């Protein structure tokens, strides 16, 4: 099979790219670099995948991706052989889309973007949370840009639902706010569907505020357009009535988090629970304008909901 990058491919930008970079308390692993370089010769470099992709950020692969995709897929992420196998298969044929993504990210000033966010967080009075993030290709997408804890974070470069540069520039504040929120909440054994909705609503509102008028609230909520927002506004009472029975569910399998599975609002343009969470946060702040988002980061979700009326 022809390698993803042919022998004539210029690897200069990849070879000169650092393996990782540190901005403030954030460590970013350029794992994609080694995923691509492992296949540049006839003999696939499995050891490079094991040492520089898997072991370097092993907690991500073992404890996050190895858990969320089910028991049958766990060996793909939790074993050295599994990691090497899917990487070799993923890059065994030419793929122009992945090739272009590599060129894009290899020549993009990722450190400058993260540095901007670090400065912006400080200007808003927040400490940039500690985080470990891998920029990597995956065998199948499921997280997008996110993770299971602040040391288990990934940006899936080949996720078809994400525009890469937009995610780096506009998506980072949303995800970093989750770290702030989670670090300030009192311990909670389980989260309800409504908790998860408000958690996302807070991160969306933070993103809107973070860019100080440069983006609309529609864009802050999953990059919506105004016509997307109008869909929800037109059906707000109907959506609330249909979703309220699922608010207290803690199983993760419910109509609020998975409306299509429950045949609810199947033509919805974005995630209903993001939008509903944002509306609850927005309503709370309209009634309590003296409260800041920093205050809300440590407030119980139930209190936010009840006092949002």
pLDDT score at 7: 43
Give dist(CA 244, CA 233) in Å, integer.
17
Tell me what pLDDT residue 217 has: 96
Bridge partners, residue 2, by sequence: none
Across residues 248-268, what is the average pLDDT? 95
Q: What is the mean pLDDT of residues 258-262?
A: 95
- 55-111 pLDDT, tens digit each: 999 999 999 999 999 899 999 999 999 999 999 998 776 567 777 887 888 788 888
For the stretch 15-29, pLDDT in tens is: 888 899 998 888 999
Q: What is the pLDDT of residue 177?
A: 87
Residues whose CB is less than 8 angstroms from the CB of residue 15 and which lie 6 or more positions away in sequence, other chains included: 37
Q: Which long-range contacts (CB under 8 A, 24 or more apart) does 240-245 make?
A: 240/276, 243/272, 243/273, 243/276
List Cβ neighbours of 213 (8 Å cut-off, separation of 6 or more): none
pLDDT in tens, 224-253: 999 999 999 999 999 999 999 999 999 989
- Alpha carbon distance 249, 257 (integer Å): 10
Contact present, 177 and 156 (Cβ < 8 Å): no
Question: pTM of the prediction?
Answer: 0.80
How high does pLDDT run on average in the chain? 89
Q: Which pLDDT score is estimated for 12?
A: 80
Long-range contacts: 75-81, Cβ < 8 Å, 24+? Answer: 76/139, 80/50, 80/54
pLDDT tens-digit profile of 27-40? 999 999 999 999 88
Give the number of other CB atoms < 10 A from CB of residue 10.
Answer: 9
Contact 174, 194 (CB under 8 A): no
Instruction: State how far the Cα of 92 lies from the Cα of 233, in Å rounded to an integer.
Output: 47
Residue written as token pair 């054994």 = 189
Compute CA distances 93 → 3, 6, 96, 218, whole Å: 5, 10, 10, 39
- How far apart CA 47 and CA 34 sit, in angstroms, is 10
Quote the pLDDT of residue 125.
81
Nearest CA to 257 out of 152, 216, 245 is that of 245
Q: What is the mean pLDDT of residues 262-274?
A: 96
């Amino acid at each position: 099979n022809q390698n993803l990058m042919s022998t004539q491919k210029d690897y200069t930008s990849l070879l000169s790219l650092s393996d990782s970079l540190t901005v403030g308390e954030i460590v970013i692993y350029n794992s994609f670099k080694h995923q691509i370089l492992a296949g540049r010769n006839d003999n696939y470099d499995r050891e490079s995948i094991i040492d520089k992709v898997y072991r370097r950020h092993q907690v991500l692969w073992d404890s996050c991706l190895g858990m969320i995709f089910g028991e049958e897929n766990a060996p793909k992420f939790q074993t050295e052989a599994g990691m090497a196998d899917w990487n070799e298969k993923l890059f065994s044929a030419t793929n122009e889309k992945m090739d272009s993504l590599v060129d894009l990210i290899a020549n993009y000033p990722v450190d400058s973007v993260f540095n901007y966010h670090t400065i912006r967080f400080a200007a808003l009075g927040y400490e940039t949370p500690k985080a470990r993030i891998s920029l990597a290709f995956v065998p199948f997408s499921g997280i997008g840009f996110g993770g299971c804890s602040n040391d288990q974070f990934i940006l899936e470069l080949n996720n078809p639902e994400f525009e890469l540069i937009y995610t780096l520039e506009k998506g980072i504040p949303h995800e970093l706010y989750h770290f702030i929120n989670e670090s300030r909440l009192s311990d909670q054994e389980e989260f309800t569907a409504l908790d998860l909705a408000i958690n996302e609503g807070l991160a969306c509102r933070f993103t809107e505020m973070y860019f100080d008028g440069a983006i609309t609230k529609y864009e802050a909520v999953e990059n919506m357009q105004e016509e997307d927002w109008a869909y929800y506004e037109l059906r707000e009472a109907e959506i609330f009535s249909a979703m309220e029975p699922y608010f207290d569910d803690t199983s993760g399998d419910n109509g609020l988090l998975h409306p299509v599975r429950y045949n609810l609002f199947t033509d919805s343009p974005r995630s209903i629970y993001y939008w509903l969470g944002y509306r609850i946060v927005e309503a709370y702040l309209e009634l309590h304008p003296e409260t800041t988002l920093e205050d809300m980061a440590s407030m119980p979700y139930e209190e936010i909901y009840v006092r949002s009326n």
